[in-house]
Every structure is written in structure tokens, then in C-alpha cells.
């Protein structure tokens, strides 16, 4: 034991105050636990500070800037529209500050004790919290590990002033003139859209044969089409080999379909995935089992092989999504409190804030068929929506996958304006075991994008009103 250390006993300790950790801490406290949360860097974690929230703030500003310049068709003509990127960053930071401050206030309001420092397991029921000025020990009955993930660094692209992770890109003091983006997944595409809207020349290098490989091809093609309208160059089957840095830029070497090419830019952004933050927790001292990828093995309640130790979010199997982490945090907190809670991953929505937005929940057509379902697929175009027309944003469609025998909704995919908000209705429909008829008989307000769900359900029933049968 370190000289001067003292030990505090708590019911539940949560390691990490991101969207999984702080939600778990609040729910555990609501259910009567004495809770301490340990955070070494940011309240709100990656999501609120250097991920979901700041990136969506930049995307929002980018769209407004584009609309200000390009609305002559609507009768709006603006001259000398300028971009003050320093002001953009100030506003983005104000959004982040409000939310992270709100998280801290919520923790305190729920009587969660806060420890700022780095946690390290010293036994299966005890951690040491290292502060800059010393350390203390927390002996717990239960622990929820929610330490999240970090961007993967490629050996040939070490982080620097010119080689950026998503965190670095979000903190740029000015919109670059040219940017090379390695990785055409959701992070790469979202940030490419944002900076392209600010006028940056973007080159995307994606290793597979398509951008956004996790989505159906018809959906990713819509995003690709919009990116090309913004003069974004997209290279698929492109393997980044190395980078040469200088004081004012980079030269990125890539092999594209067997041919070597060099791309010059101000910066290179590397978005090739994330790794779980589990390596420096001392989990071996607690006896916690892990996978070869560094993920923690858990059961349906989030409990590890060690009784009383739970893990949630990016450090366990499944997609690295903030809403998944929050959901798992509630389940773990409820399980600790004696409730019969366990995870049910029937439908985790996936959203990309691209242009247009993409969203998916439940099973795709192919997944449903692979699972042995006899399916019926219905589709409705945004171009037939009065609200989409009034927004001057008609690219896109909604697709509904139903069980043929009874119309049970198995999954839904949406590409188009507002997809990120619209997908929630379909997630609820799947969770509630609803059929296409249930959605079709639900009166939707007019004119709204939400009506597209009703219209698609009517297509599934063979009774469409606003498209020809």
C-alpha cells in the first residue's frame, strides 16, 4: 500500500463517466446504491467531448453554411457568405460545455460521489485511484467498468500535428484547404461531409470495395452520390501505405487496385476503427477474462467471470455505440440492485449523420432471409413525400422488412432527411411486436417525414396511396 493511502468502502464503483458509465451510476444510485464514479479525463466521455456531440455540431454548421450559399433555387440569394471557423469552434465548445456540465450536475443531484483520477484494480474487490497529488483505494461490493475506446493508430501513420485522429480533426483551428481521409466508415464519412461543406477538398481512401460497408449498397450509394456533388474524391480498394510530413502539409502514399499513388494535403485524418480501453486497468489482478481483441467477456447482465464486476459499452462485444453503452449501463445497474434485468439486442439502431442521413434497425432483408424468414420487402421514396418536397430534400427512401405470413416488422432501413429521428418509431414497432398493419393504422401528422413510415407500411400491405401500385 502506498504511504498515506486510505480506503473507502462503497456499494458500487463505476469506472468511466461516458454515456455508459454516468448512466449506470445514476441508475444504480436511483435504485439505492451508494455509488462512486471514477473519471480520469472528461465527464461525458468521448461521445460528449470529442465524438458524437462535437461532430454533429460541426455537421449542423456545415449544412447551414451550404444552405446559405446554395439556396437561389428557393429564392434566397446571399452574397459574400463567409465562414469564421474560430467562431464555429467556440460555438461547438459551448455545446460540449453545457452537456458535460450537465452530466456532472446530474451525478451530484443523484448523490453520486465523484473521484477524478485513473483507476487500477489491485484485487477483485478493490481499485486504486491515482490522482495527480496522490492516491486512494475504493473497496467495492460491485464494480461497473465503462472505460470506452480510443482511435486505432496505424504504425505507418503515427499521430502528430499533421496526422490526425477524429479528436484532432474536431479541434482544428481552421478548415483545411485539402484533407485526405483514411477510412470510409461512419466517422470518416461524417467528417468528410462536414469539412466538404466548409469548402475543404476531400479525398477518401477506403480499403474495402465501398464506403459505409455496414449499410446496404443502395443506401451507401446515395451518400456517395452526394459526396461527389461536393467534389469529394472516393477511392475504394485503396490501402494507405505511409505519409511524408512537412511543416505545412502531408504526402500520403496509397496502393489503389495494384497501383501506387501519392496524395498531397494539409492534413491526413485516420479513421480505421477503435480499440477498447482495457490494457491499463490491471484486470489480470482482478482475474477478469478477456478476448484476444482486448474485449471483456460478459453475460447477459453485463457481469464478468468475477462475481460483482461488470463491463459495458465499447469494451464488450457488439457495436461501439453510445446508446448501446447507456442501455447496457442501465441493465448492469438494475442487475446489481437485484432486478431481473438482462440485455436484449433485438434491435439496436445504427445511424450515420451523412448527407443524406442513414439509419437502420432490426434485420436487413439479407439478414432476415439468412435467419430463415420468408420476407416481404416494401419501399417508399422520399420524392413522394410532401414534407420532403417542401424541404427541397427528396433523395432517399424507407425500406420495411416484414414476415410474409403476418406482416410482423423485422427491420427497417431509412436513407434521407431526418432518418436519424425517424428510425426510433421503427425500433419501438419491432420491440412491441407490431405489424405493418399496426403502423399503417396509426394516424401520422401531415405533412411530416414521419408519414413515410405509414406510407411504407401501406406499401407492405399492398394498399399504397401515394405511389402507383
- As a whole number of angstroms, the distance between CA 291 and CA 221 comes to 35
Task: Please give the mean pLDDT across all residues of the chain.
Answer: 96
pLDDT tens per residue across span 409-446: 999 999 999 999 999 999 999 999 999 999 999 999 99
| Bind-site residues for FAD | 56, 147-149, 314
- pLDDT the model gives residue 469: 82
pTM value is: 0.95
Closest CA to 4 of 131, 118, 106: 131
Write out the binding residues for NAD(+): 183-190, 206, 273
Question: pLDDT digits over 168-223, tens only?
Answer: 999 999 999 999 999 999 999 999 999 999 999 999 999 999 999 999 999 999 99
Q: Which of 143, 59, 48 is nearest to 93 (CA)?
A: 48
Residue 1 pLDDT level (bands cut at 50, 70, 90): very low
Residue 455 scores a pLDDT above 60: yes
Q: Which three three-digit cell numbers place residue 250?
A: 502531408
> Is the CATH number of domain 7-150+275-336 3.30.379.10?
no
Q: Is the pLDDT of residue 2 over 80?
A: no
Query: In whole angstroms, what is the distance from residue 46 CA to residue 355 CA?
Result: 23
pLDDT of residue 4: 54
User: Measured in whole angstroms, how far is the alpha carbon of residue 164 from the centre of its chain?
Assistant: 19
Query: DSSP 3-state assignment of 39?
Result: strand
How far apart CA 342 and CA 325 sit, in angstroms, is 13
Q: 20 near 319, Cβ under 8 Å?
A: no
Is pLDDT larger for residue 197 or for residue 134?
Answer: 197
Q: Which band of pLDDT confidence, cut at 50, 70 and 90, is reported for residue 3? A: very low
Annotated binding site: 56, 147-149, 183-190, 206, 273, 314
Of 1.10.443.10, 3.40.190.80, 3.30.390.30, 3.40.50.12280, the CATH number of 356-460 is: 3.30.390.30
Task: State the catalytic residues.
Answer: 446
Residue 374: per-residue pLDDT:
98
Q: What is the SS3 assignment for 442?
A: coil
> What cell numbers appear for 447 in the block?
405533412
CA distances from 128 to 222, 231, 290, 452 (A): 50, 52, 21, 53
Over residues 241-250, mean pLDDT:
96
CATH 3.50.50.60 domain extents, the chain: 7-150+275-336, 163-272
| CATH architecture under which domain 163-272 falls | 3-Layer(bba) Sandwich (3.50)
The answer, yes or no, to whether residue 346 has pLDDT greater than 90, is: no
pLDDT of residue 257: 87
Taking residues 225-236, report their average pLDDT. Answer: 97
Among 119, 120, 116, 117, smallest CA distance to 107 is for: 116
Distances (CA, A) of 289 to 24, 273, 281, 305: 22, 23, 13, 6
Taking 90 as the threshold, does the pLDDT of residue 134 lie above it?
A: no
> What is the rounded CA–CA span in Å between residue 458 and residue 139?
58
* Distance between CA atoms of residues 385 and 467, nearest Å: 10
Residues of the chain with CATH 3.30.390.30: 356-460
What average pLDDT does the segment 110-117 reach?
Answer: 97
Angle at alpha carbon of residue 211, lines to 155 and 152, rounded to 5°: 25
Amino acid at each position: 500500500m502506498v504511504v498515506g493511502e486510505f480506503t473507502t468502502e462503497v456499494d458500487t464503483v463505476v469506472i468511466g463517466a461516458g454515456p455508459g458509465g454516468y448512466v449506470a451510476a445514476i441508475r444504480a444510485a436511483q435504485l439505492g446504491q451508494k455509488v462512486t464514479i471514477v473519471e480520469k479525463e472528461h465527464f461525458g466521455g468521448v461521445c460528449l467531448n470529442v465524438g458524437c456531440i462535437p461532430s454533429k455540431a460541426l455537421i449542423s454548421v456545415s449544412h447551414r453554411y451550404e444552405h446559405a450559399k446554395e439556396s437561389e433555387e428557393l429564392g434566397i440569394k446571399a452574397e459574400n457568405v463567409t465562414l469564421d471557423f474560430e467562431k464555429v469552434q467556440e460555438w461547438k465548445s459551448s455545446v460540449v460545455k453545457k452537456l458535460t456540465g450537465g452530466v456532472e450536475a446530474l451525478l451530484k443531484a443523484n448523490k453520486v460521489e465523484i473521484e477524478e483520477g485513473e483507476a487500477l484494480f489491485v484485487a477483485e474487490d478493490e481499485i486504486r485511484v491515482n490522482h495527480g497529488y496522490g492516491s486512494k483505494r475504493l473497496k467495492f461490493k460491485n464494480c461497473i467498468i465503462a472505460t470506452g475506446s480510443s482511435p486505432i493508430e496505424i504504425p505507418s501513420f503515427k499521430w502528430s500535428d499533421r496526422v490526425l485522429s477524429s479528436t484532432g480533426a474536431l479541434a482544428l483551428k481552421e478548415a483545411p484547404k485539402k484533407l485526405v481521409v483514411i477510412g470510409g466508415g461512419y466517422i470518416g464519412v461524417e467528417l468528410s461531409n462536414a469539412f466538404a461543406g466548409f469548402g475543404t477538398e476531400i479525398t477518401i481512401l477506403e480499403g474495402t470495395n465501398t464506403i459505409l460497408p455496414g449499410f446496404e449498397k443502395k443506401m451507401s450509394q446515395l451518400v456517395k452520390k452526394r459526396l461527389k456533388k461536393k467534389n469529394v474524391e472516393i477511392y475504394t480498394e485503396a490501402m494507405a501505405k505511409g505519409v511524408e510530413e512537412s511543416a505545412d502539409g502531408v504526402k500520403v502514399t496509397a496502393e489503389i487496385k495494384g497501383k501506387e499513388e501519392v496524395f498531397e494535403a494539409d492534413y491526413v485524418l485516420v479513421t480505421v476503427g477503435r480499440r477498447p480501453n482495457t490494457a491499463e486497468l490491471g484486470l489480470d489482478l482482478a482475474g477478469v477474462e478477456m478476448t484476444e481483441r482486448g474485449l471483456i467477456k460478459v453475460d447477459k447482465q453485463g457481469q464478468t467471470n468475477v462475481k460483482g464486476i461488470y463491463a459495458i459499452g465499447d469494451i464488450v462485444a457488439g457495436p461501439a455505440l453510445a446508446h448501446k453503452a447507456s442501455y447496457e449501463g442501465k441493465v448492469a445497474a438494475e442487475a446489481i440492485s437485484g432486478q431481473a434485468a438482462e440485455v436484449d439486442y433485438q434491435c439496436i439502431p445504427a445511424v450515420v449523420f451523412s448527407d443524406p442521413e442513414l439509419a437502420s434497425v432490426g434485420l436487413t432483408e439479407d439478414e432476415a432471409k439468412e435467419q430463415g424468414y420468408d420476407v416481404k420487402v416494401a419501399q417508399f421514396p422520399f420524392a413522394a413525400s410532401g414534407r420532403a418536397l417542401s424541404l427541397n430534400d427528396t433523395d432517399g427512401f424507407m425500406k420495411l422488412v416484414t414476415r410474409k405470413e403476418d406482416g410482423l416488422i423485422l427491420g427497417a432501413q431509412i436513407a434521407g432527411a431526418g432518418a436519424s429521428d425517424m428510425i426510433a418509431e421503427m425500433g419501438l414497432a419491432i420491440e412491441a411486436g407490431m405489424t405493418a398493419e399496426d403502423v399503417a393504422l396509426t394516424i401520422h401528422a401531415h405533412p411530416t417525414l414521419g408519414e413515410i413510415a405509414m406510407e411504407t407500411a401501406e406499401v407492405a400491405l399492398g394498399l399504397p396511396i401515394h405511389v402507383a401500385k
